[in-house]
Structure 1
Amino acid sequence: MPPTAHHFTPVYPLHEPQHSFRSKQYAPPRKRKRQQGNDDDSDDSDTNVEPLQPVQSHDINDPYRVAGWPENIPLPGSSFPHSPAVKPKGRQLSSDNLQKELAGLKPPLYVPPPGEQDTTPSLRRHHLSVLTTILHTSLLKHDFVRAGRAWGMILRTDIMGRPLDVRTHGRWGVGAEILMRKFSPENIIDEQLYNRTIISDEGFEAAKDYYERLILQFPYQKTNPNAISSLTFYPAMFGLCIYEIQQKCRLAYERTRKDSPEVEHSDSELGLNGNPEEETSAIRRSELASAASLAARMDELMLSPPFDTYPSLLQLRVSIALWLADLYRTTADSDDDDDENKERASMERAKARRCLDRLKAAGVTAPQMLMDISD
């Protein structure tokens, strides 16, 4: 009875040669012996040929046997048995060709969105790169009107049937800067200090409305906490509000010192009446009221997570608390409500310390200047 062939662990009897099944495929053909008496005219050469015996190998770990190659045949070369990887000879499909082939199937597996049938994505990408170049060139030249037009066209551009995300590549920050500068007057030259740009009221309002829209459009999501969301937009908007308050008060202070015809804010907005001392007091009260209103809005927002532990908001709230403490202290020196303002100043300093403690609990080191001032 012949030995039984196993697939995974071949076991060969000791009296039979050990060779693999594949070695028989590469072995040379053996001539069959003809029986004597059946054919008297048979050649002696056929009857005298001995069959080739396979080379015996008593090592079951023989690499020739494992690779299925007999020992009596030369190796094929090319680092046998480790043959090089064969690259597919088929045609490599690009994304555009793949979409066309999927759309041509019946039924189609891909349906191009509206507007993509006639315009290739490569042309749209080229169009987007041209608009981006125009945007940055206009910003370098301080041509904010033209930059705003290019930015609007970029936002209306679709790639592969999907609109561009305003949060990518810092486009949201560029949009806010364009809106602020777009409505601003020309640069005002300060004879004593430096050149500066005055942001108009229309620019501040347009930028704040823009941030409000972004906050509603991209709220914070727990499933994607690292994405650009309202956590990013709130500190930017509050910083813009601080800049607006300080610019209005700075221009009003300068008008009390000298007659500045370039200042466009009206006297009634800050309660000015012509007396320098009364004007200074009115400006300080207006600054205090605006800062207190901003702080109240931030406190309302920071009652709920994740805003109550967000480092950027906490650090900004520390700065506003110290700012309010100074305003309450200076207002107490020239106001009848001396005790009340001093108490509010101490409350704001305590608020700053609590925010610093939250920063430390979150593992964030606050600037040393804020820590020194709050002590």
Structure 2
Amino acid sequence: MPPTAHHFTPVYPLHEPQQSFRSKQYAPPRKRKRQQDPNDDDESDDSDLHTDPVQPSVTSRNVNDPYRVAGWPENMPLPGFSFPHAPAVKRRNRQPVSNNLQTELAALKPPLYVPPPGEQDTTSSLRRHHLGVLTTILHTSLLKHDFVRAGRAWGMILRTNILGRPLDVRTHGRWGIGAEILMRKFSPQNDFHEQSDHASTISDEGFEAAKDYYERLILQYPFQKTNPNAISSLTFYPAMFGLCIYEIQQKCNRALERMRNSSLEADQSDSESEQTRNQESKNIAAIKRSELDSAAGLAARMDELMLSPPFDTYPPLLQLRSSVALWLADLYETAANPDDDGDENKERASLERSRAKRCIERMKAAGVTVPEPILNGLG
């Protein structure tokens, strides 16, 4: 028997025929039929007809019900005047973190919990006590002029770590103490019982060690614009230049003293003659020329440094450079070689004085008070 039409009829309902764009555009909007609730009022807003198909519809009465918002049953009386703005039952405080958990968090690397100062590890407390003992030994040795023992204490302080970090040599003025120890350590007068006029004499090894120390600090802690108030090379340069000035003057004074001692011995043996006086004047002139050459080399180094900021406007460097300029002007006028041209020496002296004036003007522009000796040196 051949198949009839009912054999090809699908068992599921067919989809509605698709409408064209024009028919969809001009078709009337379809609204979902809303179920009637006996509790609802007959009059309702048109907005209730357009509900979200995903979320269930909620009546305005249920949403705005204060009992429902506060979570309070309707069959119970209200708790008080402040309802529903205050909780009826106070919440219990959270239990504090146990000590074992705090210890575990503090032991992590990096630690997630930092204990209070009273609960810190005893190891750091012992290290701080050790640092205090070393600092006491250091200052006691300095008061007794025992610079060898002070140097040993200083080295132990530098090798001390607090909480895994080494000490910063710039804090509490330690960098200046280190330079003083290096200068005095190589001096032959280290015994604090000796009280002589040469107790302040510094050996050449001490000067070289201190200058090398400052050079290392300058390289290790350069000036940074992000932290301009920190102790950096801007602080170390004036200290090093001041040490160089002290070295030049001490060498000149020691040479003059040796020459005077030799002349006194010659006077005791032989009578003073014209030839002896001429030789003494020549020796003094040679010493002064050596001082002039050393001071000129120092001034050239300072000028090279002060070409770039922030060194060109730093008041301590300006004050130091003006003092060196006045010192050089006096040396050009009094300690110049007699074989040289006198006009050239006067010109150099005038150039140094004008440089000192420029430094003073920069200091005044920065609001720094100029010392009286510098103003008196300009005349």
Summarize the alignment of residues 269-280 of structure 1 with structure 2, pairs less than 5 Å apart.
275-280=279-284
Residue 360 of structure 2 corresponds to which residue in structure 1?
356
**CA-to-aligned-CA distance 1:173-214 (integer Å, 9 cap, x gap):** 111000000001216724xxxx74100111001000111111
Residue 321 of structure 2 corresponds to which residue in structure 1?
317
**Inter-partner Cα distance in structure 2 for 1:327 and 1:149:** 41
Query: Given the two structures, how large is their TM-score scaled by the length of structure 1?
Result: 0.68
Give, in angstroms, the shift of residue 20 of structure 1. Answer: 9.7
Determine helix, strand or coil for the equivalent of 1:142.
coil
**Inter-partner Cα distance in structure 1 for 2:300 and 2:100:** 59
Correspondence 1:205 to 2:212: no
Residue 292 of structure 2 corresponds to which residue in structure 1?
288
**Inter-partner Cα distance in structure 2 for 1:135 and 1:339:** 54
**Conserved 8 A contact 2:105-2:111:** no
C-alpha distance 97-337 of structure 1, shift in aligned 2 (>3 A): farther
C-alpha distance 94-150 of structure 1, shift in aligned 2 (>3 A): farther
5+ residue gaps in structure 2? 1-39, 41-58, 113-120, 265-276
Q: 1:99 aligns with which of 94, 106, 112?
A: 106
Correspondence 1:67 to 2:86: yes
Correspondence 1:253 to 2:256: yes
**Inter-partner Cα distance in structure 2 for 1:96 and 1:156:** 28
5+ residue gaps in structure 1? 13-17, 31-51, 57-61, 70-75, 111-117, 262-272
Residue 53 of structure 2 corresponds to which residue in structure 1?
none
C-alpha distance 95-366 of structure 1, shift in aligned 2 (>3 A): farther
Residue 167 of structure 1 corresponds to which residue in structure 2?
170
Give, in angstroms, the shift of residue 224 of structure 1. Answer: 1.8
**Inter-partner Cα distance in structure 1 for 2:299 and 2:367:** 24
Summarize the alignment of residues 208-247 of structure 1 with structure 2, pairs less than 5 Å apart.
208-247=211-250
Residue 145 of structure 2 corresponds to which residue in structure 1?
142
**CA-to-aligned-CA distance 1:266-315 (integer Å, 9 cap, x gap):** xxxxxxx9932111111111111111110001001111111111111111
**Inter-partner Cα distance in structure 2 for 1:274 and 1:176:** 41
C-alpha distance 254-20 of structure 1, shift in aligned 2 (>3 A): farther
**Conserved 8 A contact 1:331-1:341:** no
C-alpha distance 178-3 of structure 1, shift in aligned 2 (>3 A): same
Give, in angstroms, the shift of residue 169 of structure 1. Answer: 1.6
**Inter-partner Cα distance in structure 2 for 1:367 and 1:95:** 59
C-alpha distance 300-22 of structure 1, shift in aligned 2 (>3 A): same
C-alpha distance 148-94 of structure 1, shift in aligned 2 (>3 A): farther
**Inter-partner Cα distance in structure 2 for 1:335 and 1:95:** 83
**Inter-partner Cα distance in structure 2 for 1:145 and 1:94:** 49
Give, in angstroms, the shift of residue 239 of structure 1. Answer: 0.3
- Structure number with the higher helix fraction is 2
**Conserved 8 A contact 1:235-1:312:** yes
**Conserved 8 A contact 1:188-1:196:** yes
**Conserved 8 A contact 1:314-1:359:** yes
C-alpha distance 242-64 of structure 1, shift in aligned 2 (>3 A): same
Residue 374 of structure 1 corresponds to which residue in structure 2?
378
**Conserved 8 A contact 1:20-1:65:** no
Give, in angstroms, the shift of residue 341 of structure 1. Answer: 1.1
Q: 2:349 aligns with which of 345, 350, 355?
A: 345
**Conserved 8 A contact 2:62-2:68:** no
Residue 265 of structure 1 corresponds to which residue in structure 2?
none
**CA-to-aligned-CA distance 1:215-273 (integer Å, 9 cap, x gap):** 11111122222221111111100000001111111222223333599xxxxxxxxxxx9
Determine helix, strand or coil for the equivalent of 1:189.
coil
Percent of aligned positions that are identical: 63
**Inter-partner Cα distance in structure 1 for 2:133 and 2:111:** 33
C-alpha distance 274-211 of structure 1, shift in aligned 2 (>3 A): farther
Residue 330 of structure 1 corresponds to which residue in structure 2?
334
C-alpha distance 148-4 of structure 1, shift in aligned 2 (>3 A): farther
Q: 1:153 aligns with which of 152, 156, 180?
A: 156
**Inter-partner Cα distance in structure 2 for 1:258 and 1:243:** 22
Give, in angstroms, the shift of residue 164 of structure 1. Answer: 1.7
**CA-to-aligned-CA distance 1:38-72 (integer Å, 9 cap, x gap):** xxxxxxxxxxxxxx6x599xxxxx75653356xxx
**Counterpart of 1:66 in structure 2: which amino acid?**
H
Equivalent residues, number: 298
Query: Given the two structures, how large is their TM-score scaled by the length of structure 2?
Result: 0.68
Determine helix, strand or coil for the equivalent of 1:341.
helix
**Inter-partner Cα distance in structure 2 for 1:95 and 1:141:** 48
**Inter-partner Cα distance in structure 1 for 2:330 and 2:68:** 93
